[in-house]
Amino acid sequence: MKVNATTPEPTRSGFTLLELLMVVVIISIIAALLIVAFGGVLRSADVTKVKAEFTQIESAMKKFESDYGVIPPSAIVLTEDPGTTAWDATSKTVLRRMFGNTIDWTASYDFNGDSVNTGDPALGDGRLILTSSECLLFFLGGVRSGTTFTGFSGNKEKPFASGGDNRVDPQFTFDPSRLIDEDEDGMPEYKDLASDEDIAIIFASSNNGQGYSDTDGSVAHYHQSDGSTPWNQNSFQLISAGADGAFGFDVEPNPFVVLTWSADSTVSGAEADNITNFAPGTLGQ
């Protein structure tokens, strides 16, 4: 029997250039989608961490109020050397409410730990002007020794003394690696947990329900949609700049600008990823 010979088809040795390009494009699209999804997961995790920390700070504030009778202010002037500049009346009134009427206003202190009593190097007159996050650290942490906060002294005449065994423990344990000094006065601020930038958390106090300050240069804070009622009007606000490290407004505007937010408002831009202790998540959610 005669067998007809057939010519075998040539085998393919690989992908064509067009097929390779298509594979690369598909892989790139998948990678981009994964990066976006992973980024969203990380941002969500950051929001959760910040909100959890804000809850811890709120608990520390309640403990402070229980121990000292008031919520800390978000602006105060400390005087290291009363011989150079006397304590101002407003700061004395605030501190008396916390520590009593026995404070020795003639005592010298080294609040910023630079071994001299000259206060802010930029001022050089013994004063330290604390605002926002600086107040958060000072009142909840107490007197500072290096990167450690040791609370306040139990000596009612000299509550800001750094030594002695009779001490009141700090209300909150601050992470030393997150201490920054944006204005370089030696008094640290607390770095925002959500951002890689050296941006401090905003702390704005209602001054025990007496009202947030809306004067020029005051600490930024948010009002509700009516433009006049502050959020947390009887307590305080905490504001994180979020992952982008930008608040979307001047932290200490001059003149003061009213910031508004409501749960049903549309927030875009740098403010959208801000995290606060009065919004369920970010302001843009």
**Residue in this structure with the two tokens 């003394």, named with its chain if needed:** 161
pLDDT in tens, 232-277: 999 999 999 999 999 999 888 888 888 999 988 888 899 999 999 9
Nearest to 46 by CA among 218, 242, 257, 187: 242
Q: Decide if pLDDT at 43 tops 70.
A: no
Contact 174, 206 (CB under 8 A): no
Burial class (CB in 10 A: 0-12, 13-18, 19+), 89: exposed
- Report residue 19's pLDDT band, with 50, 70 and 90 as the boundaries: confident
The amino acid present at 47, given as its one-letter code, is V
- Report the distance separating Cα 62 and Cα 205, nearest Å: 13
- Report the distance separating Cα 48 and Cα 164, nearest Å: 39
- Report residue 98's pLDDT band, with 50, 70 and 90 as the boundaries: very high
Better-scored residue on pLDDT, 163 or 108: 108
Q: pLDDT value at position 276?
A: 96
Q: pLDDT value at position 28?
A: 78
pLDDT in tens, 100-145: 999 999 999 988 888 888 888 888 888 899 999 999 999 999 998 8
Q: pLDDT value at position 36?
A: 60
Q: Decide if pLDDT at 60 tops 80.
A: yes
- Report residue 7's pLDDT band, with 50, 70 and 90 as the boundaries: low
Q: Decide if pLDDT at 39 tops 70.
A: no
Contacts of 207 (CB under 8 A, 6+ apart): 71, 73, 213
- Report the distance separating Cα 45 and Cα 51, nearest Å: 10
Q: pLDDT value at position 3?
A: 55
Q: Lowest-pLDDT range, 4-13, 129-138, 153-162, 238-247?
A: 4-13
Average model confidence (pLDDT) across the chain: 88
Q: pLDDT value at position 9?
A: 61
**Strand locations in the chain, DSSP E?**
75-79, 127-131, 144-145, 148-149, 152-153, 167-168, 179-180, 189-190, 202-205, 222-223, 236-240, 259-260, 275-276
